[in-house]
Amino acid sequence: MISLRQLFICCSFLVLLPISKPLHANENWGLSSTERSLFTMKGSNTIGASLGPSLAKLYLEHNGVQEVRILPSNIENEYKISGLLQGREVYIDIAAHGSSTGFRALHSNSADIAMSSRPIKDKEVKKLAALGDMLDLHAEHVIAIDGIAVIVHPNNPLTQLSVQQIAKVFSGEIHNWNQLSSSYSGAINIYARDNNSGTWDTFKNLVLGKKIPLSESAQRFESNDLLSDTVTADPQGIGFVGLASVRQAKPLSVSDENTVALQPLHMTVATEDYPLARRLHLYTAPTGRNWAANDFLSFVHGQSGQEVVEKVGFVSQNPVAVDNLEDRQGPNEYLELTRSAKRLSLNFRFKPSSASLDNKARQDILRLSQFLQLAENRHMRLLLIGFGDEKQSQRRAHILSKLRASAVKSALRHQGISSLPVAGFGAFKPVATNSSSKRIKNRRVEVWLVPEDSHTETLSMAWR
């Protein structure tokens, strides 16, 4: 359990990894006269199918490489991103056969970067210990946010399901559409990703858990896009895919226990409030000496790299300010506090069982700092609102939620960014069930932009 003392300490000792700007016209990336390969990425099909090649292509172009092309291999889901630099070929290899294959490739030294659509597992951290701490800020790189969309045929009248209902469908307990809708019937056909897929791992962890098996009748797919197209062609079908692969299928709104059903939209996925939101990762050895791979990671974290994330169809981590929703929910004090504010498309979260900001949050501190330096935002002030879960008493949850907001305030102060007095609302507005390990999602800090002439400062001081 996180102590109050730990939360106070973390406010003062946050070390951030700079988001470097990519260098231009790298003549040879330190390659010898005979070397042509810059680095190799292996792992997630979710990343490797389109996002990885697109990022690699733009990275080469930003560094002066000419005639850059994405060349498919004879092997499905493998690519060479190739171009000419001073008359000789340089390239990046990508093999996208599932997240677990990326970590195996790191262990065998056959890849410089592992692509993963799920967090690294404890057993993988131990297996890769010789490379260093794979949970370190320099090893774990969140490059995009994705939402796992539960999809059905476009003519299916169903509009939403709970996580619990989805689990019953994919286990086969619910096997006919008339068990979910009075206006639709027929046997349910289940489509799922294969066992190597990070999408499958995430779906299994967030929906099925350890005790609920996938129905034996489910058809399995290596490709998100092929699965989506199959559901679109099957009026009785249901499946799950990454957000970028919804295509012509119909995505359902999803709720968790005691939460509001949310569509997998930009804002709900970016803040990770959507129940099936997930992070897309790149992992490297924290002491990796491949200069080009490290430079590529800096490029991906930056503005240009995140714009590629958006173009491909995932949710970038570049902050976006969104006008307030009239139907937003929460206690009256919260509604009044945010009445004239704009919500930013990021939440700060913390490491499991820790008072420290997680690796994505530490990068987001720098992104937020850069966002506030834009001319259109210089007249705005930041409001940080903390939330918690019901594991603690109501009073303790309230205190911890404010201290989480204080931790973010302290980290921003280190970047020269001031903010309004923080507010905390304890276990209000849960975005995940408090009855399982998913409760950690409720331990978050929302970020709001407030006009200078707003009354919010007076209100937030009153509620400190």
Beta bridge partners of 92: 39, 81
> What is the SS3 assignment for 269?
helix
Q: Are residues 45 and 129 in the same domain?
A: yes
Residue 71: domain span:
37-139+284-301
Does residue 21 sit within a domain? no
| 338 and 425 housed in the same domain | yes
Q: Is residue 102 part of a domain?
A: yes
Residue 155 and residue 202 share a domain: yes
Which pair of structure tokens corresponds to residue 368? 């937020």
Is-contact 113 284, C-beta < 8 A? yes
What single DSSP character describes residue 455? S
Residue 38, sorted as left (phi over 0), alpha (psi -120 to 50) or beta, turns out to be alpha
Residues 294, 166 share a domain: no
Do 383 and 260 lie in a common domain?
no
Q: How far apart are CA 327 and CA 187, in angstroms?
A: 37
Q: Does 122 share its domain with 153? A: no
77 assigned to some structural domain: yes
- CA dist 271 and 146 (Å) reads 11
pLDDT tens for the chain, 464 residues long, are 455 445 444 444 444 545 544 444 465 576 766 679 999 999 999 899 899 999 999 999 999 999 999 999 999 999 999 999 989 999 999 999 999 999 999 999 999 999 999 999 999 999 999 999 999 999 999 999 998 999 999 999 999 999 999 999 999 999 999 999 999 999 999 999 998 888 898 899 889 988 999 999 999 999 999 999 999 999 999 999 998 899 999 999 999 988 889 999 889 999 999 999 999 999 999 987 899 999 999 999 999 999 999 999 889 999 999 987 766 777 889 999 998 899 999 999 999 877 789 999 999 999 999 999 899 888 899 999 999 987 767 788 889 999 999 999 999 999 999 999 999 999 888 888 877 677 888 999 999 999 887 655 555 554 44
Q: Is 203 in contact with 147 (CB distance < 8 Å)?
A: no
pTM value is 0.83
Regarding whether 372 and 239 lie in a shared domain, the answer is no
DSSP reduced 3-state for 204: helix
Task: Give how many domains the chain has, as a whole number.
Answer: 3
Domain containing residue 175: CATH number? 3.40.190.10
Question: First-to-last CA distance in the chain?
Answer: 24
We report the CATH number of the domain holding residue 133 as 3.40.190
**Has residue 262 been placed in a domain?**
yes
Same-domain pairing of 170 and 131: no
The residue whose two tokens read 């016209």 is 25
* Structural domain includes residue 306: no
163, 262: one domain: yes
Q: Are residues 110 and 160 in the same domain?
A: no
Residue 45 covered by a domain: yes
Output the domain CATH number for residue 372.
3.30.1330.60
**Alpha-carbon torsion (345, 347, 348, 352), positive or negative:** negative
Is 91 inside any structural domain? yes
Residue 444 is assigned to a structural domain of this protein: yes
Shared-domain flag, residues 87 and 155? no
Cα–Cα distance for residue pair 300/298, rounded to 1 Å: 5
Co-location of 332 and 439 in the same domain: yes
CA-wise closest residue to 145 among 278, 48, 302, 309: 278
